[in-house]
Amino acid sequence: MTDAATVRDVAALARLTISDQDIENVTVEFNQTLELFDALGTADTTDVSPMINPLDTAQRLRPDNIETLVDREGLMQNAPASEEDYFLVPRVLD
Amino acid sequence: MPGQFETISSLARQLAKGSVSSRELVEDAIARTETFNPVLNAVISLNKESALAAADLADQARVDGSTSPLLGIPILHKDIFCTRGVKTSCASKMLADFIPPYNATVVDKLQEAGMVSLGKCNMDEFAMGSSNETSFFGAVKNPWDVHRVPGGSSGGSAAAVAAGLAPMATGTDTGGSIRQPAALCGITGLKPTYGRVSRYGMIAFASSMDQAGPMARTAEDCALVLNAMAGHDPLDSTCSDLAVPDYSAVLDQSIKGLRVGLPKEFFSSHLNDAVAKTVTAAIKELEAAGAKIVDVSLPSTDLGVSTYYVIAPAEASANLSRYDGVRYGYRCDSPSDLQDLYLRSRTEGFGEEVKRRILIGAFTLSAASYDQYFMKAQQVRRLIAEEYQAVLKDVDVIAGPSAPNTAFVLNDDSKSVTDMYMEDVFTIGANLAGLPAISVPAGFVDGLPVGMQLIGTRFGEAQLLNIAHQFQRRTDWHSLTPNLEGLTR
């Protein structure tokens, strides 16, 4: 069983907050999901290598050439707050 | 209405003859969407002006001699594909105002083939869901019964095609998100082999399983669209450079002697009895066409659910870490500091199911749990993939149900989170193993569509499409359409 404090710790790592009102329900569902995963323990995986890519192939690389794929202005227009070419965030250094 | 419930193949013939124009098809599609979408909620962006302008260009291109088979055919895109200058929300508050400055490769390719984009389809938020109820923009309704779900996550695409709002729509499939909604809405949906279609510009959920594919009325139409969608893309390092065959050219091959494997685990206690009978009857049609039915076993089928729900959320938690409220996407009001900005932007911007999966993913990737869950799941994934490979050495194709049930009622509180995950039990194997799979309409239970799933060998889309086409030549389940009378608001 994973307790509410651990669930809150994981949420903090994922930069999420869980309200006091929701924590009980979230913890119950979290544990239900982990119970679903218990079945994995029944599989004998001795000497089985993990499968990361379903085709088991190396990723293809392309020549390291400089290309302009997207326009900077178009990207900056989606910024919630910006000034000139910079993204604005709350002050980080005092 | 010229385009109502017609196939791409039929519309292409009419366009070539000049008996209808692309403008007329687009005007009809817009009218139908404006009539039925207020109830269905399948389309979340309708781009009338740009669609009509693109239709006029297609009509002019035809006058100038272009003969592309997809020229002037209307299409809807799942709102997971980036569309230049057009809002791409992934059905999330997080991206509700996101306007990409580039197109997904799939969008570019279909546009180059002459297809006319009408707009964007609703979906489960960030493609996480099997009912389309997790969308920030509200649930999609199933055109066969508006009190029921269309399936998910490509539920908007499936409902739109089923209701004849467009002859086809793009979908994506990470654990069944093309096949399950195709089954529940009575249309045909193909998930290609992992790497067959570029993922560039497709908003990432679980990168080792995400794959785009066509959702249309028939296998013949899926073949036409896959011809244009598939192929190498230097912008996706996992996209295969294997040559793309002409999928339409191989649709008339006999399936006499074809070996069809029926995994006993696909006809287990998870499967609704009436759905089982319907799928069994559909498989008999393949037998009647000369296929040989062979009993096979995929003993790790149930383990697939656990494996998938470890791997997919783990990859999602990494992929979705980019949404931090800084560069694009939702930002909370008046953050007190940078941590507050991250925490509140993500907590307020993501819906419940997305947060649930991020949380599970962050947990299984954490140092204390990594070996027990994430590493173990990756190992079990290999066992499952090897089971499929072994079975597909003995048979040409695997057949079974696409989903355990027909469309379930909206807001069904009796379904727990893990009950919902079990809806994917028959589809996730193909994603874990990277195999192509198609869902074809196979009959009805109590007026609701049932899908038969066919799973093929890696890059065996041509064979799957041919088998599905041969089935559709012998049956008319794919031609039946929902009664939309009274479906207006």
As averages over each run of 10 residues, the pLDDT of chain B (489 residues) reads 81 97 98 97 98 98 96 98 97 97 97 98 97 97 98 98 98 98 98 98 98 98 98 94 96 97 93 97 98 97 96 98 97 96 98 97 96 97 98 98 97 85 94 98 98 98 98 97 87
Asked whether residue A67 is domain-assigned, the answer is no
Integer Cα distance of B458 and A54 in angstroms: 10
Paired tokens of B395: 């048979």
Integer Cα distance of B268 and B272 in angstroms: 9
Residues of B in contact with A41 (CB under 8 A): 376
Residue A66: per-residue pLDDT:
86
Nearest to B306 among A39, A75, A80 (CB): A39
Distance (Å) from the C-alpha of residue B378 to the closest C-alpha of chain A?
5
The burial class, CB within 10 Å (0-12 / 13-18 / 19+), for B56 is middle
CATH number, residue B190? 3.90.1300.10
**For chain B, how are helix, strand and coil distributed in percent, rounded to 5?**
45, 15, 40
Question: ∠ CA B147-B37-B53 to the nearest 5 degrees?
Answer: 160
Q: Does B416 touch chain A (CB under 8 A)?
A: yes
Tokens 């007026």, residue located: B447
Mutation target for B interface from A31, A33, A61: give the one with most B CBs within 10 A: A33
Asked whether residue A26 is domain-assigned, the answer is yes
Asked whether residue A4 is domain-assigned, the answer is yes
**What positions of B carry a catalytic annotation?**
78, 153, 177
Residue A58: per-residue pLDDT:
76
Integer Cα distance of B25 and B71 in angstroms: 12
Q: Does A5 touch chain B (CB under 8 A)?
A: no
Integer Cα distance of B100 and B120 in angstroms: 13
The number of residues in chain B equals: 489
The amino acid occupying position B281 is A
- Other C-beta atoms within 10 Å of B21: how many? 18
Nearest residue on chain A to B336, alpha-carbon basis: A90
Contact A90 B377 (CB under 8 A): no
Residue B415: per-residue pLDDT:
82
- State the total domains in chain B: 1
Asked whether residue A9 is domain-assigned, the answer is yes
Q: Does B378 touch chain A (CB under 8 A)?
A: yes
Residue B237: per-residue pLDDT:
92
Asked whether residue B190 is domain-assigned, the answer is yes
Q: What is the ipTM of this complex?
A: 0.95
Convert the pLDDT of each residue in A31-43 to its tens digit.
Answer: 999 999 999 999 9
For residue B419, give every residue at least 6 positions away whose Cβ sits within 8 Å of its Cβ, in sequence order, or none.
none
Asked whether residue A27 is domain-assigned, the answer is yes
Integer Cα distance of A35 and A7 in angstroms: 15
Label the pairing between strands B397-401 and B259-263: parallel
Residue B2: per-residue pLDDT:
53
Q: Is the predicted pLDDT of residue A69 greater than 90, yes or no? A: no
Asked whether residue A76 is domain-assigned, the answer is no
The number of residues in chain A equals: 94
Sign of the dihedral defined by the CA atoms of residues B468, B470, B475, B479, in that order:
positive
Domain that holds residue B115: 8-258+458-479
- Residue A66 C-alpha from the chain's centroid: 29
Sign of the dihedral defined by the CA atoms of residues B255, B257, B260, B264, in that order:
positive
Integer Cα distance of B57 and B290 in angstroms: 46
Asked whether residue A48 is domain-assigned, the answer is no
- Name the residue among B154, B209, B232 with its Cα closest to residue B187: B154
Residues of A in contact with B338 (CB under 8 A): 89-90, 92
- State the total domains in chain A: 1
Contact at 8 Å (CB) between B193 and B463? no
Domain that holds residue A34: 1-38
Asked whether residue A28 is domain-assigned, the answer is yes
Residue B1: per-residue pLDDT:
52
For residue B73, give every residue at least 6 positions away whose Cβ sits within 8 Å of its Cβ, in sequence order, or none.
B8, B11, B12, B15, B22, B25, B114, B115, B116, B167, B168
Residues of A in contact with B208 (CB under 8 A): 52-54
Q: How does DSSP classify residue B34?
A: H
